[in-house]
Amino acid sequence: MSLNFALILFVLLVVTGIAWALDRWVLQPQRRARAIAAGERFDNVSAPSIRASSGDAEAARLRQEAVSQAARAPWWVEYSASFFPVILFVFTLRSFIVEPFRIPSGSMIPTLQVGDLILVNKFTYGIRLPILNNKVIPFNDPKRGDVVVFRYPVDPQIDYIKRVVGLPGDEVAYLNKRLTVNGKVVPTAAAGDYFDPDRVTYTQRFTETFDGVDHDILNDPGRSGEIGMVSSFPNMNACTYSREGVRCTVPAGNYFMMGDNRDNSLDSRYWGFMPEANIVGKAFFVWMNFSDLKRIGRFH
């Protein structure tokens, strides 16, 4: 959906930009010439009789009408030229600086709720060409614990949001409901029960820590860690599945992504690795939730 909107916005930018340039460099000079000619024609043909019958004020008014009519731009030029700066601003803002998204599912509960309207930083991980998404100016790389919006590898027309748990070269294991990275268990601490609105039940909440930064996850130890309905994906031979869960070595140029709602998230455990080329940006701020205004603010 985001890709389609970006393409539509780009087409509108091109169309209105051409109209703006055509008007500025070709049509405006033509209209100015017509306006001058209309004024001279009025002065030579109509002005004497109008001044004699109705006075100078009426002659000046009618002259201004004739000049304005000759200088008037066609409606399609006027609208296109007016909208171009606005479309250019929006396109630049959402392509290179920040883009809004809406959270459609509960896979990132409790960090993000269904209906959260979030902002995504588009330049944290480098400047990318609009539409093509090719990185042209590299900056930072994603870190473990970052919440990232990316194009779903199975269908790049769809945007997904998950948390980075594995970097290129990492060995990530999710066995018996415990996450380990490079042989080290990711620290967690019990944080009480949480009412999960998706399942209309209570589940256990934990605080998980990546590189000194805390975030909350949901994880029901009573549910099986076995992973079913796994799709075939590139580099699938880098993963080993068992009744306890999955163990993967993240290939170069890829990341292992997981949702914070560990028992209700379709993530890298099921569809594989997220290529670096699919990254859209880093999610960092809830700017609105119409059901709960207290949710506005930054998140980790």
Report how far residue 119's alpha carbon sits from residue 164's, in angstroms, rounded to the nearest whole number: 17
Report yes or no: 170 and 256 within 8 Å, Cβ to Cβ: yes
- SS3 of 172-236: the string is EEEECCEEEECCEECCEEEEEEEEECCCCEEEEEEEEEECCEEEEEECCCCCCCCCCCCCCCCCH
**135 in catalytic set:** no
Report how far residue 225's alpha carbon sits from residue 244's, in angstroms, rounded to the nearest whole number: 6
Catalytic residue among 2, 95, 107, 268: 107
Q: Around 187, how many Cα atoms within 13 Å sit in the side-chain half-sphere? A: 7
> Could you say which DSSP state residue 251 is in?
P
Report yes or no: 35 and 73 within 8 Å, Cβ to Cβ: no
Catalytic residue among 162, 265, 268, 282: 162
Residue in 238, 199, 191 with CA at minimum distance from that of residue 217: 191
Here the tokens at position 198 are 């998706």
Catalytic positions:
107, 162
